[in-house]
Amino acid sequence: MKLFLLLWILPIVLLGSWYGLSYYDINFGYRILSRDLHDLVFIIYGNMLGLPPQAVPPLVLKAVIVDSFLVLGFIVLKRRRRQIWAALKAFFAPVTARFRGAGETEAAPQPD
């Protein structure tokens, strides 16, 4: 689980730090952190998606949010698997009891 969380959070941290530094042109002398490359990357993604470049960052943010909810859902399922299973069994128990009883009829005693 720790590896799963690390593999999820590492790209998000790298993307967020790159976006923040390049958006404000804090490049420390590295071209990859320059505002020019930032604009070029979003122009390329915008052209690939057929969208204006300004529409791409909100879409990336929405994707990160959806992925975060999925990862949190996986964590909840893993940690509370037994509780969720018990609740589902308790919820559906009356239904299965009704179906089991519906097909059974009382048999008349057989004469010897």
Query: Per-residue pLDDT tens for 68-100?
Result: 999 999 998 988 988 988 888 888 887 655 566
Q: Where are the alpha helices (DSSP H) in 27-80?
A: 35-49, 56-79
Please tell me the predicted confidence (pLDDT) of residue 97: 59
The domains of the chain are located at 2-99
Distance CA 57, CA 49 (A): 12
Please tell me the predicted confidence (pLDDT) of residue 91: 86
Single out the residue of 18, 8, 20, 4 nearest to residue 68, CA to CA. 8
Query: Per-residue pLDDT tens for 37-53?
Result: 999 999 999 999 999 99
pLDDT at 22 over 90: yes
Token pair 């059974």 in the structure block, residue: 104
Single out the residue of 34, 33, 30, 56 nearest to residue 43, CA to CA. 56
Q: Record the pTM.
A: 0.70
